[in-house]
A and B are shown apart, each in its own frame.
Chain A
Amino acid sequence: MSGGYSSLETLFSGTVLAGTSVLYATLGETIAERSGIINLGLEGVMMFSAMIAVMATAASGEPLLGVLAAIAAGAAMGLVHAFLCVTLVCNQIAAGLALFLLGKGLSNYLGAELVGVKVAGLPALLGIADPLVPLSWVLVAAAGLITYRTRAGIALQAAGEAPRDAERLGVDVRRVRFVAVLLGSAMAGIGGAHLALGYAGSWAPDIVGGRGWVAIAMVILARWNPSWSFAGAYLFGLMSTLSFALQARGVAVSFYFLSMVPYLVTIVALVATSWSIRKHPAAVPAALAQPYQRE
């Protein structure tokens, strides 16, 4: 096996490319969960918006429109979840699983015509090959600032920690939760768009391949801190890039094991995090997944 081509640079760019869709989803889910709503339908949201991104790009020939359509599609899925969980106060776990099945079914059904359709990739912006990558960094920084430094952020945290007390102090908890779910879902939509337009360059059934589920785990790894959402996402990106890089370099380990590594690391990270959460339980939004009805 000849080496010499290996470099940290390609490993880094591979990590960022593979991790970006998970980063958007993780960030979005963090925002939703900080408000007290868990969205287990993330995988379905990403599938649906990836499909819409390809559909809109194919129809208009304009990938930027595809990204915007994916944001709208993500928000639309978020609207369904918010309606079920915030307005109707349904069980969040059941609603999330239904949302996953809806997104999966809808995207594979409507996307059947899109398989094998060639779409334009994301255009370079200001000399940056993949503009969704720096945008994700900007959003991570902004989400951190907003959550911890603004009134809106404090209201978001309060809605997820103690909705009744927050309500008494003048926070419209249902509105905050509704907006947080919508925003979070729209961000997962950008993740889906990146996967389809910026990464794989096409639509295929089940294109998301579990990244939505990984993102839900990565929220826990980041301990519900939006500023840390990149850690889990890029850890996943690094592991999946590394598993192929090692295989290509002839590392004598079963490729079935190597392809399991990203998911294995996810589990290990979860175990490690829950150990630390046991010592500092404050990291978990206290009212997460608990139905809230105004008194």
Chain B
Amino acid sequence: MPLGLRELLMKSKRHARVCAAGAAAFAAACLCGGCGRQEQPPAGPLAMRPATPPLQAAAGKLGIAFVTVGPVSDWGFNYAMNEGRLFLEATLHDKVTTKLVENVPEGADVERVMQKLVNDGNRLIFPTSLGYLDPALRVAQRNPQVVFMHTGGYKTAANLGTFTAYLDEAFYLAGIVAGRMSRSNHIGFVGAHPVPPIIREINALALGVQTVKPLAEVDVVWTGAWSDPGKETEAANALLDLGADVLAVHQDSPIAVIMAAEKRGAKSIGVHADAGRFAPTGWLTGAKWEWGAFLVTITKSVLDHSWKPQLLRGGLKEGYVALSPFGSVVPQQLREQVLQREKDIRDGRLLVFAGPIVDVSGNLRIPRGRPASFTELEGMDWCVKGVFGCTQR
């Protein structure tokens, strides 16, 4: 039955209304689904909202807030940062309160979240993702009474400093384990992006491997993403296909690579945190952060007003990084040997990047008789001999 013109019009109008209502409900559901878990970002512009009473300040404690780009349950970078926060709170519980906002995207969101944290009375803020640097600089400029400590950045402001630890020494020790445990003398490395900190870790790993297997090679594959488990699995499989029998990794979460290695009977070296539970048979060890000690040092300097904006760096010696517990396959003798090397590094008797160091093309990068300089370490964009695929761009 064809409809009359009037009915047809009415029908299409009613239809448009139903669709509009459906779309609105949908949009609301989507917005809500995208929210963070612990902290709902404010819906409107902050200037329009009534000022929140500074709760932490009222209690006489220093309010400290952390912002992470991913979930803290990732057994990776964010997990390690949250462990550090818990350590900080346990250590200085009578002087500080802490809170953490996770899953905040880099961009406009993080600026809003940080301003909200300031309005809530927090006076020390840790923006913990590389891409938070510029938003943090903007919020810092607007709030001179608040101290910001950014992770890994290269710029500072009057009330913004940066801090990071380097995992290279721990990777060097893990390299000794990898070299001893490898039968094929092929060690694979799945990296996120060819940035200096990761290249430095790969070089340290290779130098560690070469102390026990001078001719072993380290093959690197980049995924081009901090977190993409599908690509990480593909990259791991490509390295295993090539004959690697130990895989090391630096992605936001090491799980995908460790599990890909475990599935095919290969050994694995983790990063960020102890993820041995994901590879009960193949886990060797890993490089992990010990942010807790670092955060306590920084917080104490804010509490006694000795804090200054600077680029704080540290490693094994300062206790800011450590070697993850050994897997059950690592023999006792090897453990003792590696722990002895660890002690040598802590005591300053052993330096990972001490000359002579030759790069893949045979150029002498660090001459005999001197250690690598701060600039050489921070900007490392070349790979040591024995590393393949490391810096092709």
A residues near B (Cβ < 8 Å) are 1-2, 4-7, 10-11, 14, 17-18, 21, 84, 88-91, 94, 98, 101-102, 104-106, 108-109, 112-118, 121, 195, 199-202, 204-209, 211, 240-241, 244-245, 247-250, 252-256, 259, 295
Contact = CB atoms under 8 A, between A and B. Distances in A.
17 contacts: A1-B219, A1-B388, A2-B217, A88-B15, A90-B19, A101-B33, A102-B29, A114-B73, A115-B70, A200-B229, A201-B229, A202-B256, A207-B229, A240-B231, A248-B238, A250-B392, A295-B1
A143 to B, nearest CB: 24
B233 A91 contact: no
Given A113-B73, A245-B238, A211 B230 contact: yes
Contacts of B238: 14, 241, 244-245, 247-248
Given A116-B71, A248-B238, 11 more contacts: A4-B243, A21-B230, A101-B26, A105-B33, A115-B253, A199-B233, A201-B255, A202-B229, A248-B389, A250-B388, A255-B194
Contacts of A248: 188, 219, 221, 235, 238-239, 241-242, 389
B19 A91 contact: yes
B392 A252 contact: yes
Interface string B55-86: 00000000000000011011110010000000
B260 A201 contact: yes
Contacts, number: 189
B37 A109 contact: yes
Contacts of A108: 33-34, 103
B33 A104 contact: yes
B223 interface: yes
B3 to A, nearest CB: 8
A253 B392 contact: yes
B351 interface: no
Contacts of B228: 204, 206-207, 209
B390 to A, nearest CB: 10
A94 B71 CA distance: 30
A17 B35 CA distance: 33
Given A2-B217, A245-B238, A255-B392, A200 B70 contact: no
B265 to A, nearest CB: 13
Contact of B70 (A88, A205, A244, A252): A205
A6 B232 CA distance: 19
A256 B2 contact: no
A259 B230 CA distance: 13
B235 A102 contact: no
Interface string B87-112: 00000000000000011000000000
A109 B188 CA distance: 34
B71 A112 contact: yes
Nearest to A9: B241
A253 B393 CA distance: 7
B241 A204 contact: no
Contact of B243 (A5, A101, A241, A254): A5
Interface in B182-237: 186, 188, 194, 217, 219, 221-225, 227-235, 237
B255 A244 contact: no
A5 B259 contact: no
Contact of B233 (A90, A113, A200): A200
B22 A247 contact: no
Nearest to A199: B233
Interface in B114-172: none
Contacts of A117: 73
A1 B35 CA distance: 47
A295 B253 contact: no
B23 interface: yes
Max chain A C-beta neighbours (<10 A), residue from B19, B188, B230: B230
